[in-house]
Amino acid sequence: MTAKGSAEWKGDLPGGTGTFTAGDTISGGYTFKSRFEDGPGSNPEQLIAAAHAACFSMALSNILAEAGSPPQSVHTDATVTLWFVDGAPTITKIALVTAGKVPGIDQAAFAEHAAAAKAGCPVSRALASVPEITLEATLL
C-alpha cells in the first residue's frame, strides 16, 4: 500500500504561496501567514493532525471490535503544536482527544484500548519523535 501527496511552493518564504494535493481528492493552499501567523488557509500541521486523527480513530475502532465491542462511533480531534526550538520550527506536541460510543464496555476499558491505539496506529508510530503526544479518551 502506498499513498501519495505533492506540494509546490512559489516565491520567497514570507511572500510566496504553496499548493498541495493528497491523493486524488484533497487539495489546498498555504502561505507563511497560514502556517506561522494564524492567517487564512491551511498548513502542513493541519494535514498531520487530520492524518493522526483518522488513523487513530480507525485503529481504536479495530481494537475495540477485535476485543468484542465494536463501536457505534469513534470521533477524534488532534491538535498539533508547532513551536520554535533552538530557532527551528518544530512539532513539539500532539494532543489527541477522542470520544467513543461503544456499547458493553466501561470507561477504564475504553481508555485502555485507546492507549493501545495511540501506541500502535501507523501515524502515531511515524510521529514517535514528537516529544509529547497526549491522549484524552472519553466513553460516551
Q: In this structure, are residues 124 and 52 in contact, taking their beta carbons and an 8 Å threshold?
A: yes
Predicted model pTM: 0.95
Could you report the average pLDDT of every consecutive run of 10 residues in the chain (140 residues)?
95 97 95 94 96 98 98 98 95 98 97 98 97 98
Burial bucket for residue 75 (CB in 10 Å: 0-12, 13-18, 19+): middle
Q: Which helix (H) or strand (E) holds 44?
A: helix 44-66
Helix axes 44-66, 107-120, angle to 10 degrees: 130
- pLDDT value of residue 135: 98
**Which pLDDT score is estimated for 8?**
98
Give the per-residue pLDDT at 1: 86
What superfamily in CATH does domain 44-139 come from?
K homology (KH) domain (3.30.300.20)
